[in-house]
Amino acid sequence: MAAIDRDVEIALQALARMVAIDTSFPPGLGYDAFADLMMELLTSLEFEFERIIVPRELWHVPGAPAAGERTNLIARRQTGQPVCGLYYHVDTVPVAPGWTRDPLSLTIEGDNLYGLGAADMKGTIAATLLALHAAQRCGVALAYDPVLLLCTDEEGGLYPGIRYLAEQRLLEGHILNFNGTAAPRIWAGCFGIFNLQVTITGHAVHAGEGNRTGTGVNAIEGALPILNALAALKPGVAARASKLAPPPHATGLLRPQLTISAIHGGTAGGQVPAELKILVSRRYAPEEAFEEARAEIEAVVRGCIDGTELGLAIDLVGHLIPTDDPEGPHWPRWQKALSLGFGYQPEDFRKWGAASCSDFGYVQKAGFGPEVLLGGLGRPESCIHSPEEHTTRQDIIALAKSILAYLSADFAADAIPENRT
């Protein structure tokens, strides 16, 4: 543990290099470069590597912004111990307007560490490196062989990397998912999310001819009824409620959400716009059926187009299914490790779910689990998915200590399920 405190600045140097690689999704062009960096950073820890490429036909949608190879990296170190998978998604959301610091440069201000992905979730990789280096330097015997799963397209992709790894039977052991919070939480599962790309097509002509009958068809103006109808649907969706336990700080029940997330269309003031793309995002509760939630949106959209000269296409461009309650036999010891790292007491822990989403519903569906451990660096003040995203030096230290304790053979050995069997 003292080695973690002593060497944290080395981990922050690694984090700075991670933040500097743009892995934003969409489009997801930085995955190869990030895999190269991770192989460099992990080589001294005696890992062996396997790159897994998700086939293009599984994730590519014509006209959608995703591009580049979907390069997932598995880093293994095999000594014959039981396996613990350590999961990270390496993609971030795109840079949002409003940053006052360079989002692709780690900015250190006191204890705060600013940068895109610093909390979600490249900082958790830095904490893992810190823990593994401390174990190596101090000769700590491990209860588990760590397998690092560095995966693609969690931020709204159609076929996230961990789904492909699970379906290809490339996972083993139990998995510690770091796409979570630094709070004393027992994960109860989470919502699903899907993204629909609605494409409205008209007919482009010179703008000066646009008012003449039988010439241009303005896709943007034609889409206004669709936008209004989606906005009218939004409160009805939000009126529904889930039985999933809400976080302690929540002001009410967890509810589904419908969001108009992006609009792209038009070219110039001198041309009637021929195409508009609308990205519609729908978070759905475990009690809801994906097919029904999608059909509800499509019916509203198609109802606005019927009888017009506009063309319409609706494509599914992203989907994460709900994650079921992931509690299992390894959770009690992970809670002990979190308590050691962050200073929590047993009575601090609460069980709750979230309207945020995870790609681990696919892992459960593929037959791994349902147990999934959850930890991370998320806090309400971390500005995840927002300008000025940040974590702290102390939280990276605390998470590193939790990881080291959990992997170590001499920590709470009587609570290791494999020891009991």
Confidence of residue 267 (pLDDT cuts 50, 70, 90): confident
The pLDDT assigned to 149 comes to: 98
> What one-character-per-residue DSSP string does 198-223 give?
EEEE-B--BGGGTTSTTS-B-HHHHH
DSSP 84: E
Per-residue pLDDT of 311-368, as tens digits, reads: 999 999 999 999 999 999 999 999 999 999 999 999 999 999 999 999 999 999 999 9
Where do the DSSP E strands lie in 77-215? 83-89, 107-109, 112-114, 145-151, 174-181, 185-201
Confidence of residue 210 (pLDDT cuts 50, 70, 90): low
Q: Quote the distance between the C-alpha of residue 14 and its chain's center.
A: 21
Share of the chain above pLDDT 70, in %: 98
CB 196 within 8 A of CB 317: yes
Degrees to nearest 5, angle at CA 182 with 179 and 183:
120
* 285-304 residue pLDDT tens: 999 999 999 999 999 999 99
The whole-angstrom separation of Cα 400 and Cα 4 is 7
**129 membership: H or E segment, kind and range:** helix 122-138
Question: Structure tokens of 380?
Answer: 């309400």
Q: Pull the structure tokens for residue 275.
A: 């195409």
pLDDT reported for residue 343: 97
Cross-strand partners of 313: 199
- Banded model confidence at residue 209, pLDDT cuts 50, 70, 90: low
Q: How far is it, in rounded angstroms, from Cα 106 to Cα 15? A: 8
- Integer Cα distance of 160 and 171 in angstroms: 14
Mean of the per-residue pLDDT values of the chain: 95
Return the bridge partners of 198, or none.
278, 314
What are the Cα distances from residue 282, in Å, to 191, 258, 265, 287? 10, 5, 21, 14
Residue 383 tokens read as: 């500005």
Of the candidates 371, 360, 291, the residue with the CA atom closest to the CA atom of residue 329: 371
- Decide: 321 and 361 in contact? Cβ < 8 Å: yes
Instruction: Please compute Rg for the chain using Cα positions.
Output: 23
Give the residue among 287, 333, 300, 397 at the shortest CA–CA distance from 5.
Answer: 397
Nearest to 24 by CA among 114, 115, 101: 115
Whether 249 has a pLDDT exceeding 90, the answer reads no
| pLDDT tier for residue 214 given thresholds of 50, 70 and 90 | low
Q: How far apart, in whole angstroms, are the C-alpha atoms of residue 251 and residue 182?
A: 20
Query: Confidence class of residue 421 from pLDDT cuts 50, 70 and 90?
Result: low
Q: Is the pTM of this model over 0.75?
A: yes
Cβ density class 121-137: b for 16+ within 10 Å, e for less = bbbbbbbbbbbbbbbee
> Which DSSP category does 8 fall into?
H
